[in-house]
Amino acid sequence: MADAVERYLRDLGLDVDEDDAGAKVGSTMGNLYCRVEPHANGGTPLFLCAHLDTVPPTGPIEPVVEDGVVRNAAGTILGADNKSAVAVMLEATRRIVAENRPHAGIELVFTPKEEVGLLGAAAFDHARLHARVGYVYDQAAPIGDVILGAPYSHSMEVRFHGRAAHSGMYPEDGRSAIAAAARAIADLRLGRIDEETTANVGTIHGGTAGNIVPEWCTFLAEARSHDERKLADVVQEMLDAISFAAGLEDCEVETEVHKSYRGYRFKRDDDVVRIAHAALERSGFTPSYGLSGGAADANVFNEHGLRCLNLANGMQDIHTPDERIAVDDLEHMVGVTLAIVDVAREHAA
């Protein structure tokens, strides 16, 4: 994907470079960066970002167009998340260059490892960007949906240490780490805690054999909230439940908590929102506003003091074998992108 994007942009006569983030984040590619020099005085420079990775497919990617909709004929993901945004941004850039379209400056960033924690965007040197306003198209919803906010998130790795013993001959000598983990998980509030907050336990591993009291058990959990104080309270509640369960089962426990990403919240009169609103209306769409329960590269850019808005682009059923996007929506998003460029050129920085 990185090679294809780089070839495409170079064929347009643009310079592209790849940073050294790949080795840092465990990817075969770094972040790609391309700057299209301004063609007009004044206005607001923009950056556009899309990620090149997908969730893992379980088979080949064989895109077909059926009744105006792009699907994967091979029964796994299509990868519209986020290759549909890549395609739209490349086509819009092609038209801007071919038409000598006036603009206030455009920068393109294509990132790796978004799906596993926004790693590429986090490793990007944000000081390279001339623009302070940017957009990602990474929300699976109808065109016109504008994401004003995304949650804060913490991840948690929990490892219980018990004592191994033969489960038939000396079970009383053992201390079950799996029992401790099970008790902790049973006491956690999981799923949707309130309209702003969720929590989840995603994986659990433990033990060595069916006839041995398990001396270890590990699980991975996360919590998210649009309210940073609520997130802190939920994480502490989880830690308390984990410690209590360990004590009841006479086990020890190690818990590592890591910040996954920071949340953000825009107001409707923020410049990044007003530009998108005007561009959507010019393109024939009625903007609607909401919050997302998931993160995108926008979280990282906003944490670094930039103003990056996530716009829906018509993707449907992402991360599933039914993932799809209408050809019309791809074309509409090219129009929306060009309208964003036009509005930004007219907008005082």
- Which CATH number belongs to the domain containing residue 321 in this structure? 3.40.630.10
In sequence order, the β-bridge partners of residue 289 are 146
The amino acid that residue 177 corresponds to is: A
Q: Tell me the three state secondary structure of residue 274.
A: helix
For residue range 67-84, what is the model confidence (pLDDT) as tens digits?
Answer: 999 999 999 999 999 999
| Residues above pLDDT 90, as percent of the chain | 98
Identify whether residues 39 and 96 lie together within a single domain. Answer: yes
Identify whether residues 334 and 314 lie together within a single domain. Answer: yes
Q: What is the mean pLDDT of residues 304-315?
A: 97
For the cut 70, the answer to whether the pLDDT of residue 108 exceeds it is yes
Q: Structural domain tally of the chain? A: 2
* CATH number reported for the structural domain that contains residue 247 in this entry: 3.30.70.360
Tokens of 8: 């495409």
Residue 140 phi/psi, 5-degree rounding, is: -80, 90
For residue 349, what pLDDT is reported? 66
- Which residues, 6 or more positions from 139, have their beta carbon under 8 angstroms from its beta carbon? 145, 147, 292, 296, 310, 311, 312, 313, 315
**Comparing C-alpha atoms, which of 253, 251, 242 is closest to residue 183?**
242
For residue 348, what pLDDT is reported? 75
Identify whether residues 177 and 293 lie together within a single domain. Answer: no
Identify whether residues 298 and 311 lie together within a single domain. Answer: yes
For residue 39, what pLDDT is reported? 80
For residue 41, what pLDDT is reported? 81
Identify whether residues 63 and 19 lie together within a single domain. Answer: yes
| Whether 55 contacts 317, CB under 8 Å | no
DSSP for 164-220, please give it: --BTTT-GGG-B-HHHHHHHHHHHS--EEEETTEEEEEEEEEE-S-TTB--SEEEEE
Identify whether residues 304 and 247 lie together within a single domain. Answer: no
In sequence order, the β-bridge partners of residue 303 are none
For residue 347, what pLDDT is reported? 84
Integer Cα distance of 232 and 211 in angstroms? 40
**Residue at which a domain ends, from 235, 261, 287:** 261
- Which residues, 6 or more positions from 221, have their beta carbon under 8 angstroms from its beta carbon? 155, 156, 158, 188, 199, 200, 201, 202, 238
Give ∠ CA 340-341-343 in degrees, rounded to 5.
Answer: 65
Active site residues: 53, 114
Sign of CA dihedral 324, 144, 277, 290: negative
Identify whether residues 70 and 132 lie together within a single domain. Answer: yes
Mean pLDDT of the chain, nearest integer? 97
Tokens of 223: 């919590």
Identify whether residues 42 and 56 lie together within a single domain. Answer: yes
For residue range 20-41, what is the model confidence (pLDDT) as tens digits?
Answer: 999 999 999 999 999 999 987 8
Identify whether residues 166 and 234 lie together within a single domain. Answer: yes
Identify whether residues 132 and 12 lie together within a single domain. Answer: yes
Q: What is the mean pLDDT of residues 59-70?
A: 96
Which element (helix H / strand E) includes 336?
A: helix 327-346
Residue 310 DSSP class: E
**Does residue 82 have a cis peptide bond before it, meaning omega lies within 30 degrees of 0?**
yes
Alpha helices in 270-313 (DSSP H): 271-282, 297-303
Tokens of 31: 């972040």
DSSP for 230-273, please give it: HHHHHHHHHHHHHHHHHHHTT-EEEEEEEEEE--EE--TTSHHH
213: containing domain: 153-261
For residue range 110-136, what is the model confidence (pLDDT) as tens digits?
Answer: 999 999 999 999 999 999 999 999 999
**Residue at which a domain ends, from 232, 261, 290:** 261
For residue range 240-292, what is the model confidence (pLDDT) as tens digits?
Answer: 999 999 999 999 999 999 999 999 999 999 999 999 999 999 999 999 999 99
Identify whether residues 37 and 132 lie together within a single domain. Answer: yes
For residue 344, what pLDDT is reported? 97
For residue range 42-56, what is the model confidence (pLDDT) as tens digits?
Answer: 899 999 999 999 999
In sequence order, the β-bridge partners of residue 290 are 147
**Residue at which a domain ends, from 241, 261, 281:** 261
| Whether 198 contacts 223, CB under 8 Å | yes
Residue 95 phi/psi, 5-degree rounding, is: -70, -40
| Residues above pLDDT 70, as percent of the chain | 99
For residue 109, what pLDDT is reported? 98
The phi-psi region of residue 126 (left if phi > 0; otherwise alpha if psi is between -120 and 50; otherwise beta) is alpha
Identify whether residues 160 and 143 lie together within a single domain. Answer: no
CB-based burial, 271-291: b 16+ in 10 Å, e otherwise: bbbebbbbbbeebebebeeee
| Whether 64 contacts 87, CB under 8 Å | no
Integer Cα distance of 139 and 73 in angstroms? 23
| Whether 197 contacts 224, CB under 8 Å | yes
Q: What is the mean pLDDT of residues 143-172?
A: 97
